[in-house]
Chain A
Amino acid sequence: MEPAEVDALLAAEHAEQRRQAVLAMVKLDPSEVVPRLLRALGDSDWRVREEAQRIGANLAIDEALLSALIGAVAQPDNVGLRNAALALLGALGERASSALLDAFKAAEPTARKFVVEAIAGTGDRRAVPLLSDVAVASDLNDAAGAIEALGRIGGAEAEAALRRVLGSQEVYLRMAALQALDRMRVTLPWEQLEPLLSERLVFRVALSALGRTGHVAAVAPLLSALAESSSRLAAMAAGALCELAASEQGAEAVARGMLGLGQDARSRLRELALEGEGEAARAAVELLCRARDPEVLPAVVECACRNELADGAEAAIRAWGYDAARALLSLYQTDVDAPRAPATLELGSDLAASLSSGAVTAAFGGQPGGDFVVELRGALRAAMQSRQSELMAAATRAMAQWAEPGDAGRLVALAGSSHAEVCEAARLALTALVERDSEAVGRALLGVNLEGPSGQMLVELIARTGGEAAFDRLRTALLAPDPATRSAAIRALSRLHGLKVGEAIAMALTDESSEVQLVAAEALGGLLQRGEGSELLLQSLLVALDGPAPQVQEAAARALRWAEAGSEVDDALSHWAQAGGAELRVIAIDALVARASPLLGAALERALQDGEPKVVKKALNTYAVQGPSDPSTLIAALEHPLSEIRRVAIDLLLRRGDDRALAALFAHRERESDDVLRQKLGDALAELGRGH
């Protein structure tokens, strides 16, 4: 496209045509680009300006471009052009900073602040000395701009310069410096901040910095700010107080301060907690928890539901203790149908349970909090009967902490609920209860139907109840019509111990479902692994290895790796390392390796001749690790007809890196028929040559 055509497009009415003109610009002679780029940067449509910035950032930088951009920054008329030029200079970064520093020195007073802004945008720390000087200059606009630029650039040198400005006579500059330091999250000592607080303008800016001091004296000014009528000020103070409370020294002082909180500050915080949002609301919630204000509890529940309850708030509620739990329970009971009722109940329950590690034990014994615990359990049991599934689930989940032996039956019934959330809650509660009283859970599970989805979960619980009864129940579960339940029963059985466990699981290898057989074979492997094998178990796995279902065969081969040394197992694995499906052949080799079988060598020899690449690769990799020190086998594999096998052989020989291996690879390089492989080998050998 000719320059004139670009110009015509730049003058077009439609923004899209002008954007296309920008795209076409890059093909012009460089000397033709700059004026048109500048025109585009000053376009009335943001899309054209953005395209121009993108194009400009990729141009070769020369004086003409920088000069034009600086001129655009310094001009007072077109704000859009200035901003686009500032952004482009920022994108050019350090490449533009020298020119900008020179430009600053020569700039008109009215243009200097814009140049300073451009310097800040480059982020180049080489500008800090100049900016430090300007920051204490007599021109307030220049100085404020430099202070802001220092804050944006950051670093120790900039921080030192800004700290010096804090001692300035000019309040406006002190405020700017404090703001810049705040932006850098610099922690200033109380002693440096304290003299600044008397000035109202600076005081507002100092609030965040006060939170970082960790100084007890910072509490009072922050509390006074809380009582301010400005919500913004109160929000900043709340955030700062939370930060102070998280510090070692400030925590106690904030706690004391919050317990003596005045009415105005309390009202402001309630407003923030209940009506505000984001950080400010979270900070207000935390502080009101520290103030033990029951009015905050709905907001606490809201935060908890959104997983936004700050650590400090959680700690504060725990410190609040049973009174908070009691207050939550009261809040729940005022309207059990309220949307947040389930969360309120659960939070109260969790809080009570977390008050001390021995809370549950203590509660059983009617220790401190006993009356409350009775009331809480009553509420939970009533909620478990609710028609609202959400409330039912919340109460049932809470029963993980509070269920007593007598609750087991109800929990087992709920485990069969049609609501997945309630089922899961019942599972959690029963899993916890079984640790406290396995007999009660065992009794509750006695007549329960193990068919269906909940059956799988219940068999897990039965296993946890342990003992003979559990074994009998699980064996009965093997009669379930649903293979998934039978599988779950086998997994559960495998948690128990004893010879008959292995026998029952071995029998499951006769199951008509190959899924169940698979689980049984895996479970038997688990028993072998933990040293609970037997002759029957071993024979069963050998039969399974010989069976018709490939996955079961594979599971059996995996399991047999744990069998005690014996030629029968080695013979079988060696046989299937040759005669099985490809996956089984690989697994059988693995098992022979794991068993350090004397038949491994012969099996590997055969595997190297295998028609399936993955088996050959397995054999080669095994050879490389376990085989003899002689690399002949790997070298021979360089002649394999499949390139993927040769690739493995090459990798292994390269890894080996001894003289014989390398000589073979050098010799093979020219013979390699696969171009990619030959190239790769050549590169690797060249690399090795450079290394030597």
Chain B
Amino acid sequence: MLSPNSGGGTEVALFFNAGPRLEAEEFRLIRDLVHGFCGIRLADESRLAVERRLGERLDGLGLQNFAEYCELLSQTGRGQGELEHAVDLLTTNETYFFRERPQLQAFENEVLPQLRELCALRRSLTVWSAGCSTGEEVYTLAILIARSGLFAGWDVRVFGNDISRRVLKTARRGVYRGSSFRAMPEGWKAHFIKTPDGYMVESKVRSMCHFGHFNLLDRGRIALLGRVDAIFCRNVMIYFGDEARRSLIDSFYDRLTPGGFLMLGHSESLLHLSTAFELAHLTGDLAYRKPSQLPFVPRGAS
């Protein structure tokens, strides 16, 4: 239905639903609780899909109707855990390797050299995939960095987070099948090892990657990342309300090192959200950058 943490791919599956009925008032309560919990804004037209997805959960919990479920969600403590579960069920996390190729190429060819210069003294690079879903973006970034050859001998970390425990399990495992590879360049196969369950990301790449579980609105948990040099947050903010978006952008700003880059999805921008970042024009794409004394030098400009 929704893919707030996956870099796109909104899918709504509507089938006849013979399960418990979600009344309008109950839907509004769930919508508000989910929004307050993780910033995801459920559109009014998604009520039937919510009814279907959460209806199965009611069965699992032995609840008779959504009124009981709403009561559970509203409880202190236990309600938080269930909300997390509900969000997990309501979100679809469809993503794949090398998604939005032009942007990734710009990152490889223009941003990474800048980052090499920016981080040369400390010889460490941290990239954050905010809302990493099943991990394809994290591994894509790690492979790009490894293949660039710019950071050999550096301490490179690519961190992915998601609010769904289910997708993080897949991400950690690092084993993928057909559809995840639909946009992957031919030469990248060498970074995967065939296993009975699919293709596993090679150990060298995996050793650069790390996954964590937190809500993007939880600024405290985000602080656990320390400083990062680039953030990928693609097709996530489109599901957030303005307040949640501003909070998220503020967190990104806090976490980025001066001169660090923020890469958003094609349909996203910081318009009306933040003026703290500066635009960085890349070949065929745009990125945002936290201002620093080191100016952004577009490719070929020197």
Binding site for B on A (CB under 8 A): 446-447, 472-473, 475-476, 478-481, 500, 503-504, 506-512, 536, 539-540, 543-544, 546-548
Contact = CB atoms under 8 A, between A and B. Distances in A.
Nearest to B206: A476
A458 to B, nearest CB: 13
Contacts of B174: 479
20 contacts: A472-B207, A473-B207, A475-B207, A475-B208, A479-B173, A479-B206, A479-B211, A480-B172, A500-B155, A503-B157, A504-B157, A506-B224, A507-B212, A507-B224, A507-B225, A511-B213, A512-B212, A536-B227, A544-B224, A548-B80
A603 B43 CA distance: 48
A539 B223 contact: yes
Interface in B37-69: none
Given A510-B214, A511-B212, A540 B206 contact: no
Interface string B159-170: 101000100110
Contact of B212 (A473, A476, A510, A544): A510
Contacts of A479: 172-174, 206, 209-211
A39 to B, nearest CB: 75
Interface centre among A475, A506, A507, A536 (most CB of B within 10 A): A507
Contacts of B155: 500
A481 B169 contact: yes
B226 A500 contact: no
Interface string B218-240: 00110111110000000000000
Given A473-B207, A500-B124, A510-B213, A543 B220 contact: yes
Contacts of B225: 507, 510
Nearest to A451: B173
Nearest to A504: B210
A539 B173 CA distance: 29
Nearest to B227: A536
A543 to B, nearest CB: 5
B138 to A, nearest CB: 10
B223 A475 contact: no
Contact of A509 (B80, B124, B224, B227): B224
B224 A546 contact: no
A25 B148 CA distance: 102
B75 interface: no
Given A479-B210, A506-B226, A539-B223, 10 more contacts: A472-B207, A479-B174, A481-B169, A481-B173, A504-B157, A507-B159, A508-B212, A509-B212, A540-B223, A543-B224
B203 interface: yes
A540 B203 contact: no
Contacts of A547: 220-221
B88 to A, nearest CB: 11
Contacts of B223: 539-540, 543
Contacts of B221: 510, 543, 547
Contacts of B124: 500
Contacts of A500: 124, 155
A439 B167 CA distance: 36
Contacts of B173: 479, 481
Contacts of B224: 506-507, 509-510, 539-540, 543-544
A509 B161 CA distance: 12
Contacts of A540: 223-224, 226
Contacts of B209: 479
Nearest to B155: A500
A476 B204 CA distance: 9
A504 B124 CA distance: 13
A512 B213 contact: yes
A472 to B, nearest CB: 4
A662 B12 CA distance: 78
A246 B87 CA distance: 76
A546 B207 CA distance: 29
A584 B275 CA distance: 42
A503 B155 CA distance: 11
A548 B174 CA distance: 28
A475 B204 CA distance: 11
Interface string B173-207: 11000000000000000000000000000011011
Contacts of A548: 80
User: Closest 10 interchain pairs by CB?
Assistant: A510-B212, A512-B213, A472-B207, A476-B207, A536-B226, A479-B172, A543-B220, A512-B165, A476-B206, A500-B155
Interface centre among A500, A509, A511 (most CB of B within 10 A): A511
A480 B223 CA distance: 24
B160 to A, nearest CB: 10
Contacts of B206: 476, 479
A479 B168 CA distance: 10
B80 A481 contact: no
A446 B203 CA distance: 9
A566 B82 CA distance: 38
A447 B203 contact: yes
Nearest to B124: A500
A532 B125 CA distance: 21
Contacts of A543: 220-221, 223-224
A511 B206 CA distance: 16
Contacts of B226: 503, 506, 536, 539-540
B228 to A, nearest CB: 11
A124 to B, nearest CB: 74
Interface in B111-133: 124
Contacts of B168: 512
Nearest to B163: A512
A539 B225 CA distance: 10
Interface in B227-263: 227
A80 B284 CA distance: 113
